[in-house]
Structure 1
Amino acid sequence: MNAADSSALVVFSGGQDSTTCLAWALSHYERVETIGFWYGQRHAVEMECREPIRQGVARLSPLWASRLGPDRVIPLDVLGEVSVSALTADLLVASSRTDGLPATFVPGRNLVFLTFAAIAAFQRGLKRVVTGVCETDFSGYPDCRDDTIKALQTALNLGLNSRLVLETPLMWIDKAETWTLAEALGGDGLVELIVHETHTCYNGDRRTWQEWGFGCGQCDACRLRSAGWQRYSQARSWRVWD
C-alpha cells in the first residue's frame, strides 16, 4: 500500500465508538485526519471532548502521534433545523416517533455527515472515510445499516468520480466487543481514556459518574454503553482468572 492509499479521515464525535475508530485508523493507516460536525445537538458537550481525546490518543503511542493529522469541525446547524429529533429539539429522549423509530433519530444525519466527510477526504487526498456506525448494537437508526453505507459509498464514488472507501470497523460487533477492540488496540490506557474522556450520553450529562464514564444512565446511548461495559468487564475478569 503506497502512502497515498494509506490515509483516512475519521468521523470523530468525541464518543466511545468514534474514539475506538480513531485508534483503529491510527493502527492501520499512515496518515489520519479527523472531522466533526456541529448540528445543534443537545449533547454539544461532546464537541468539547474531542481535542482532549485526540491529544490523549496521541500520548498513548509515538506511532499514533506521528500519524495523527489535523482536525476540522463543520457547522451544519441547518440539519438541526430541518430534522426534528430529540437530539436537536426539546423533546423527550426516551419517547418514540409515530413511525416507530427512536425519538433520537436525526433524519439524514449519517447521510449528510458521510457526504461532507467524503467531500473533505476527496479534497485532502484521503482514500478512506472511517465511521463508527454499527448494525449489531444500535438504537435502530436506518442510516447505520450496512446496506445504507454500501449504497452511499457507491453514490459518492459515482458523484465524485473517485474510489473512496467507507470503512465501518464496528459494523458487526456489539458494545462489549467494542470495549474489547479498544483494549486490543491501545491497552488499558485507551480503555481508561474512553471511560474518563469520551461522551456518549444523549442528555449531555457530564456530572453523573458511572463505572463506564459520565452519563445519565437512562438514555439509549448510556444503556448500550453500560450493558456493553458489564459484559466486557465480566469477560475480562474471566480472562484474568484464566
Structure 2
Amino acid sequence: MSPRETNAALVLFSGGQDSSVCLAWALERYARVETVGFDYGQRHSIEMEARQAVRREVAARFPHWADRLGEDHVLDIRSFGQVAQSALTADRAIEMTERGLPSTFVPGRNLVFLIYAAALADRRGVEALIGGMCETDFSGYPDCRRDTMDAMQSALNLGMDRAFRIETPLMWLTKAQTWALAKTLGGEDLVRLIVEESHTCYQGERGQLHAWGHGCGTCPACELREKGYVEWDAAGREALAQ
C-alpha cells in the first residue's frame, strides 16, 4: 500500500449489524477496505467469531466486493476493558446508572478505538476511518454523537499531523433505515447475511435464529435490532400492498 492511499478505508468492525452495514457501504465506495476489531474483554466475545464469518460470507456472496476486501486486524486492548468496567466487560446487571447512562456504556470506548484505529491507519496509509456510531436510535452513549466524532477527528489530525476523515454513514439513520440501507447495498442476500452471521446481543446468545437474527431477545441491543427489523419489514409489506 502506498504511503497515502486516498481511495482506501479502515472500518471499525465488530461483526455486529451496524458495522456489517458500514463494511458493505465502504466496499461500495473504496477500492481497498481493511477492517479492525478490538478485543477489550467484552462479555459477548462471540462477536470476535461473528466478524470473521461476516467477512468470509461477504467475500463469498459478493464477488465484486471480494477483491476490494483487504486485511483484517485484531487488536488486544483487554487492559482497557479492565479499567473501564461496565456491564459489557464485567458481571453486572444491564440497567440505568446514577449518571443516567446505561450500565453497558464503556467509558471512552469509541475514543480509544479511534486512537488505535488512527495509529493503524497511519501505518497502513489510510485516511478514511469508518464507524457505525449513530445518534438517531440513541443508546445514551455520549461517544456515539457526531459532535464527539468531529472533536476526535480534529484531535487526531492535530496530534498525528494527518488528514483523517471519520465517516459515520449510520449517524442519522434509525435501525429500520439501517436495514433498508443494507437492502439497497446488497439486496436480500446482504440482509440474510446480516441476519444469519452478524452478532449484536449483549448476552452473547447465538441459539435461536429469530427473523431479525441471533440473540437473547431481551437485552437493549436485541430489542433495538428487533424493533428496527419489524418496522422496516412492515414498511416493505405496506409498499408491496399498495
TM-score scaled to structure 2, two decimals?
0.97
What is the rounded CA distance, in whole Å, between the counterparts of 1:185 and 1:44 in structure 2?
A: 28
Aligned residue runs from structure 1 range 14-163, under 5 A: 14-93=15-94, 95-163=95-163
**Cα RMSD over matched residues?**
1.2
What is the rounded CA distance, in whole Å, between the counterparts of 1:36 and 1:149 in structure 2?
A: 18
Could you tell me how far 1:79 is from its partner in structure 2? Answer: 1.4
- Higher mean alpha-carbon deviation, 10-19 vs 46-55, is at 46-55
What is the rounded CA distance, in whole Å, between the counterparts of 1:61 and 1:215 in structure 2?
A: 26
What is the rounded CA distance, in whole Å, between the counterparts of 1:87 and 1:138 in structure 2?
A: 17
CA contact (8 A) 2:132 2:168 kept: yes
In the alignment, structure 1 residue 203 sits paired with structure 2 residue 203: yes
Matched pairs, number: 240
Aligned position for 1:180: 180
1:129 aligned counterpart, secondary structure: strand
In the alignment, structure 1 residue 5 sits paired with structure 2 residue 6: yes
What is the rounded CA distance, in whole Å, between the counterparts of 1:214 and 1:167 in structure 2?
A: 28
1:6 aligned counterpart, secondary structure: strand
2:133 aligned counterpart, secondary structure: coil
What is the rounded CA distance, in whole Å, between the counterparts of 2:118 and 2:179 in structure 1?
A: 27
What is the rounded CA distance, in whole Å, between the counterparts of 2:240 and 2:122 in structure 1?
A: 45
CA deviation digits over 1:151-210, x for unaligned, max 9?
Answer: 000000001100010000000000000000000000000000000000000011111332
Could you tell me how far 1:61 is from its partner in structure 2? Answer: 2.1
CA deviation digits over 1:125-155, x for unaligned, max 9?
Answer: 1110000000001311000000000000000
- Long gaps (5+) in structure 1: none
CA deviation digits over 1:5-44, x for unaligned, max 9?
Answer: 1110000001000000000000000000000000000000
TM-score scaled to structure 1, two decimals?
0.97
Could you tell me how far 1:222 is from its partner in structure 2? Answer: 0.5
CA deviation digits over 1:36-67, x for unaligned, max 9?
Answer: 00000000001011111101111232221010
CA contact (8 A) 1:205 1:214 kept: yes
What is the rounded CA distance, in whole Å, between the counterparts of 2:64 and 2:6 in structure 1?
A: 18
CA contact (8 A) 2:28 2:65 kept: yes
Give the residue type in structure 1 aligned to 2:18: D
Give the residue type in structure 2 aligned to 1:65: A
1:226 aligned counterpart, secondary structure: helix
Could you tell me how far 1:213 is from its partner in structure 2? Answer: 0.6
| Identity, % of aligned positions | 55
1:225 aligned counterpart, secondary structure: helix
Give the residue type in structure 2 aligned to 1:182: A
What is the rounded CA distance, in whole Å, between the counterparts of 1:208 and 1:103 in structure 2?
A: 25
What is the rounded CA distance, in whole Å, between the counterparts of 1:55 and 1:135 in structure 2?
A: 29
Give the residue type in structure 1 aligned to 2:229: W
CA contact (8 A) 1:146 1:171 kept: yes
- Long gaps (5+) in structure 2: none
CA contact (8 A) 1:60 1:186 kept: no
